[in-house]
Amino acid sequence: MRRVIFHIDVNSAFLSWSAVKLLQEGQADIRLVPSVVSGDPSDRRSIITAASIPAKKLGIKTAQPVSMALRSCPSLVIVRGDWDWYKRCSHGFIEICRSYSPVLQQFSIDECFIDMTFRLAGRDPVEVATQLKEQIKQTLGFTVNVGVGSNKLLAKMASDFEKPDKVHTLWEEEVPQKMWPLQVRDLLWVGKKTEARLVANGIKTIGDLAKLGLGSLSQLVGQKFALQLHENANGRDDSPVETETSEAKSYSAERTFREDLSDPKDIDRALFNVACIVAHRIRKDHFRASTVSIFVKYKDFSVSQKQCQLAQPTDVTALILADARRILAEAWDGVTPIRQVGLGVSKLTHEAAEQMSLFEDPKMDFYREWDRQYDAKRTREGRMSREEFDEALKR
DNA sequence: TCTGGGGTCCTAGGACCC
DNA sequence: TCTGGGGTCCTAGGACCC
């Protein structure tokens, strides 16, 4: 029996969601004019998170610097993102999708797959997909694309065809006609680097890729990746719609400076801030981490990273920070200007408590008190400054 | 024009053990 | 005295996704 998978993708998600909110507040519909969602427009480093269709027609693209977009369109409407609102919109659309099939996999904040194989009751898949799309539009006020196919890959490729507010099919038998003429870059998992490598070898379309022997492809991209690309280019994908949301495997936070910084005090302040954020998040989710990693990005975007293992899993900010400081000192010469600094934790466990250590840091009680106060304050007010934190330490 | 922030997975080499 | 092969863990780096 043929599977029927839907991929539902919100059109210009953040922009649509902000538009709905502004409309509710009595403002004009920003979807109808060149507009974008971005971070602080006065910061030369902020980039575009989402662009309206009129903006896209002017050549404005996601991930482009705001300063650049303003040059090509001085009248561009710029809206600041509102994460809490986006989460509510996301939840609303996911729940409507779930009412069509409980076999649902959320792929990102604005995309999900549903397995409709046993849910059609003899109806035409396109008709059902259209009904879903209309229900979201009527109920929530924003549009989606629905891709309909016999597996997840094809459904996802289909939802990426003409936008917005459309239903498209991509059945296996339609692959030669609808998918093979597309550029190789349009295939899922083919990014910039892989595209360059393939095109340099004369493989320009997904069809070229589909017809290429596995042996030659393996030489270009490695055996494992080659196998996946070969299957996908031929429209095959047997991965299931995963209903279980797998637990996070890592947490990280990073900060990009307005200007590159080289003063170790500035770098340490930033490292402190990201350590607080990451440690707070793992405590909130009841994790402890065994691996700490840091990375620094330089002016030319080159990155150095370093990681280390902790003696035992922890969620204590001070312990994570101590190791992060140590390995940062090994990774960075202390003088080269830094564009971005980040900290991550991984090898997570839910261990209820740390094992008693013979060499337990005598300041441990202080550390835990910092964290307790930080968590209380952050939960209440969203953030806490280093000065307040240092005050908490003194008490 | 000058590039954010948060994730996942894969690879390859070295250390160490049996 | 000189040597094989396999397994696991760690690390750094690179590719991709939204």
pLDDT digits (tens, 9 = 90+) for A142-166: 999 999 999 999 999 999 999 999 9
Distance from residue A246's CA to nucleotide C15's C1', rounded to whole Å: 22
Distance from residue A385's CA to nucleotide B5's C1', rounded to whole Å: 21
Please pick, among A95, A111, A127, A162, the residue that the annotation labels catalytic. A111
pLDDT digits (tens, 9 = 90+) for A81-91: 999 999 999 99
Asked if residue A359 has pLDDT above 80, the reply is: no
Which CB contacts under 8 angstroms, 24+ apart, belong to A88-94?
A89/A10, A89/A13, A89/A17, A89/A20, A89/A140, A89/A142, A90/A13, A92/A139, A92/A140, A93/A8, A93/A10, A93/A136, A93/A140, A93/A142, A93/A144
Average pLDDT over residues A104-114: 97
A317-339 as b/e, with b when 16 or more CB fall inside 10 Å? bbbbbebbeebbeeebeeeeebb
User: What pLDDT was estimated at residue A277?
Assistant: 95
User: What pLDDT was estimated at residue A377?
Assistant: 84
User: What pLDDT was estimated at residue A393?
Assistant: 60
Element (H or E) spanning A130, and its range? helix A125-140
Q: Where are the beta strands (DSSP E) in A56-178?
A: 77-80, 104-108, 111-115, 144-149, 167-170
Q: Which nucleotide is nearest to A224 (CA to C1')?
A: B10
Contact A339, A332 (CB under 8 A): no
Distance from residue A259's CA to nucleotide C12's C1', rounded to whole Å: 27
pLDDT digits (tens, 9 = 90+) for A295-310: 999 999 999 999 999 9
User: What pLDDT was estimated at residue A180?
Assistant: 98
**Sign of the C-alpha dihedral computed for residues A197, A203, A205 and A206 taken in this order:** negative
pTM for this entry: 0.92
Average pLDDT over residues A184-210: 96
pLDDT digits (tens, 9 = 90+) for A270-283: 999 999 999 999 99
User: What pLDDT was estimated at residue A44?
Assistant: 84
Cβ of residue A224 lies below 7 Å from strand C: no
- Respond yes or no: is residue A111 known to be catalytic: yes
User: What pLDDT was estimated at residue A39?
Assistant: 85
Cβ of residue A379 lies below 7 Å from strand C: no
Asked if residue A40 has pLDDT above 80, the reply is: yes
pLDDT digits (tens, 9 = 90+) for A41-55: 888 899 999 999 999
Query: What percent of chain A clears pLDDT 70, i.e. is strictly above it?
Result: 93
